[in-house]
Amino acid sequence: MSLIKLGNIFQEYWGETSESYFTDRNFKQNPLLKGSINGGVFIFRPKIAFGIFKDYYYSNHNQGELNSFEETPFAYFSQIYDWFEPSPLKFNAQVLYKMKGTEKGRIVEREEQKIWKFFRKIYYKKTENSLYPTSNYKKLVEDIMKNNYFIHFSGKYPLYYR
């Protein structure tokens, strides 16, 4: 899945474009921005980023209601300072994008909607997960695990492994 396709899924799911992801959080538009990346995963050379983050954290910048802590500033700075080099997506396969951007994910969501609403409400409250792990969900996660190196369960999707 390319960064462009991830950006399209991001826009469809959250209603934001790559540009508005930053501008809605009070960052200036910049032509070097490639997309709203998951920028908080790894920092391999903190000596390079230290000064910029120190200046950022002690500034009066406010991300507003859409605050995403370190993820947005790191995604922003890593792109405008040309630190960002995308890894192959197999190193950060996100269940969220497999759920929202594929037919298999839509099948999982339809299956989960067939579970009694009363049961789902109790399950969500007790586990804080965003979805009940149905058999199709488990199959989807197993497929993701077979085809990728690292799995990212963001979006409160339930952890599943055998």
79 and 34 Cβ atoms separated by less than 8 Å? yes
Residues 41 and 1: their CA atoms lie apart, in Å, by 18
Selected residue with higher pLDDT from 44 and 93: 93
Query: Any idea of the CA torsion for 65, 22, 76, 64, to the nearest 10 degrees?
Result: -20
For residue 38, name the pLDDT band (cuts at 50, 70, 90): low
At residue 152, the 3 state secondary structure works out as: strand
User: Which amino acid is located at 30 in the chain?
Assistant: N
Backbone φ/ψ region at 89: left (φ over 0), alpha (ψ -120 to 50), beta: alpha
Domain boundaries, the chain: 3-7+15-80, 89-152
Structural element, H or E, at residue 151: strand 151-152
> Is pLDDT at 85 greater than 80 in this prediction?
no
User: Which amino acid is located at 129 in the chain?
Assistant: N
For residue 68, name the pLDDT band (cuts at 50, 70, 90): confident
**Pairing assessment for the beta strands 151-152 and 93-94 based on DSSP bridges:** parallel
Backbone φ/ψ region at 64: left (φ over 0), alpha (ψ -120 to 50), beta: left
> Is pLDDT at 106 greater than 70 in this prediction?
yes
At residue 94, the 3 state secondary structure works out as: strand
